Amino acid sequence: MIRKSSINIAKVASRRALSGLVRGRPVCSSFAAQPRSSPVLLRSLPIVSNNVFGIRTYAVTTVPVPEMAESITEGTLKQWVKNVGDYVELDEEIASIETDKIDVAVNAPSAGVITEVLAAEEDTVTVGQPLFKLDTDGSADASAPPAPKEEAPKPAETPKEPEASKTEAPKPAAAAPPPPPPPPPAAKPAAASKPAAASTPETPSTPGSRDERRVKMNRMRLRIAERLKQSQNTAASLTTFNEVDMSNLIEFRKLYKDEILKKTGIKIGFMSFFSKALCLASKEIPAANGAIEGPNGGDTIVYRDYVDISVAVATPKGLVTPVVRNAEAMSLLEIEKAIADLGHKARDGKLTIEDMAGGTTTISNGGVFGSLMGTPIINLPQTAVLGLHGVKDRPIAVNGKVELRPMMYLALTYDHRLLDGREAVTFLKLIKEYIEDPRKMLL
């Protein structure tokens, strides 16, 4: 009797355990209250249980919003690159989070299958918040697709049905002739459609449409608006102008651009020359490369021995200013390559926080878009921003004669709290002299 009862008890226990696994519950009753994705359950059900009962268990990992930067704690979930049920490889991009500075890619911490997403697009997410669930044991799913192929032979076993359909096909082919008659009537409405279009003058209402669209500002645009207004409210902004004759610089570029491109692969432009001229002018007017720091508007002036140039780059989401560091120690070609690399990263949305942090002065080139003249806004806490504009042929006096020369207007917006008018005008005049005679930059 003891043996029979013990056998019966064992059978009942095994049946309950098996049914519990099939329903997704743990075998051990002590973990019955634990959710399926809890780490305790994952440890209590190792993959070895698969070999015992022949049933696959899931190792689900909850992936949180990653650390984005020291100063960024939240962002907007802009896009799910992958969907629930998709198999992803290690480090494959799952989603994209937009912050007020850059877009952050969320990558898979391991290979597996996405089982659930815990946030919707356009939701605000914070660092550490659960974002999605990943079945890290889902690698077996990658081999699942071949299974349906094995069932393919079944339809192959019934070739008679397609044959029957083929024999029936010619009959509809014979019935095909009737369709030709309908085309003529179709042509009549086509002809009628022409006068109809002429008789509907209301349709051209689209040019005078009064429709409106409202689109929520993205985080980058909101941040740009905030910083520009802060600059306008804080700095005592003033702009001084000058014009520069680009003849010598254009001739210099024409002479050597092909040779430089062939030897180095760098396409030399104007930005590197203006950057070098700005670095040299900053040595003579250090306040133009300085900043005001301290509480209550600032009571300390910071002078720098280095020049980190913020280069304004227009992107679909807004204006960004990646930084060329230690430009004063670079050659013209090194500056040109650094600017080109940052420009490509900005347009591809691959800038990092490190690429944009800092900056002691800014160059904004509105001339590439056809600007004739403008007043750029200071990028706080910087003191000055140099604005470049379009090159236009204009008549000017040269040695008592009127000649057509390629001229560019320069604009320097500066913070009058730190930079006096005399210094600002001198700073811009130095840049003009270096550009009009590039050889002076070698002295």
Class of domain 219-442: alpha beta
User: Which CATH class for the 60-142 domain?
Assistant: mainly beta
pLDDT score at 159:
46
Residues of the chain with confidence (pLDDT) below 70: 1-58, 70, 138-205
Domain ranges, ordered by start, for the chain: 60-142, 219-442
pLDDT for the residue 99: 82
Q: Check: CB of residue 440 under 8 Å from CB of residue 252.
A: no
Token code pair at residue 250: 């254009």
Is residue 135 among the annotated active site residues?
no
Q: What is the pLDDT of residues 375-405, one digit of tens each?
A: 999 999 999 999 999 999 999 999 999 999 9
- pLDDT tens column, 338-373: 999 998 988 888 888 888 888 999 999 999 899 999
Residue 442: its pLDDT value, please?
86
Give CA–CA dist 314/321, Å, rounded. Answer: 9
Which of 123, 258, 341, 416 is labelled catalytic? 416
Query: SS3 string of the chain?
Result: CHHHHHHHHHHHHHHHHHHHHHCCCCCCHHHCCCCCCCHHHHHHCCCHHHHHHCCCCCCEEEEECCCCECCECEEEEEEECCCCCCEECCCCEEEEEECCCCEEEEECCCCEEEEEECCCCCCEEECCCEEEEEECCCHHHHCCCHHHHHCCHHHHCCCHHHHHHHHHCHHHHHHCCCCCCCHHHHHHHHHHHHHHHHCCCCHHHCCCCCCCCCCCCCHHHHHHHHHHHHHHHHCCEEEEEEEEECHHHHHHHHHHHHHHHHHHCCCCCCHHHHHHHHHHHHHHCHHHHCEEECCCCCCEEECCCCCCEEECEEECCEEECCEECCHHHCCHHHHHHHHHHHHHHHHCCCCCHHHHCCCCEEEEEHHHHCCCCCCCCCCCCECEEEEEEEEEEEEEEECCEEEEEEEEEEEEEEECCCCCHHHHHHHHHHHHHHHHCHHHHHC
In order of 24, 44, 303, 373, the CA distances from 13 in angstroms are: 16, 18, 79, 86
Query: What pTM was estimated for this model as a whole?
Result: 0.64
pLDDT at 169: 44
Contact 406, 247 (CB under 8 A): yes
299 is catalytic: no
Give yes or no on whether 60-142 and 219-442 have one common fold.
Answer: no
Encoding tokens for residue 425? Answer: 């005008």
Give the model confidence (pLDDT) of 194-211 as tens digits. 444 444 445 455 788 899
Structure confidence at residue 55 (pLDDT): 52
Q: What is the pLDDT of residue 164?
A: 41
